């Protein structure tokens, strides 16, 4: 099974981003999903797009997003795990 990529748009020193990363990581254990964390402060376009909306989770294959706060149930639904 090929990996499915997820991107967590975040910032350094963001406790909400750390919480979101832990939640998503827990959901994708033993799945084909791989999580990539992207710091929006390294890219002006990402800063403009996401500003204060972070953390934001993007499922790359279908471009669906979740804006924080998102419970585990919404992550599982986004990933078709239920």
Domains of the chain plus CATH, in order, are 4-78 (3.40.30.10)
**Model confidence band, residue 49 (pLDDT cutoffs 50, 70, 90):** very high
Element (H, E) at 30: none
| pTM (predicted TM-score) | 0.93
Q: What is the mean pLDDT of residues 29-51?
A: 96
| Burial class (CB within 10 angstroms; exposed 0-12, middle 13-18, buried 19+) of 66 | buried
Q: What is the mean pLDDT of the chain?
A: 94
Q: What is the mean pLDDT of residues 52-78?
A: 95
């Amino acid at each position: 099974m090929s990996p499915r990529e997820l991107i967590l748009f975040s910032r350094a020193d963001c406790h909400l981003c750390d919480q979101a990363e832990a939640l998503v990581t827990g959901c994708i254990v033993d799945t084909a999903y791989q999580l990539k964390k992207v710091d929006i402060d390294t890219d002006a376009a990402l800063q403009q797009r996401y500003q204060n909306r972070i953390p934001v989770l993007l499922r790359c294959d279908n471009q669906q997003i979740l804006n924080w706060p998102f419970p585990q149930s919404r992550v599982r639904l986004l990933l078709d795990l239920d």
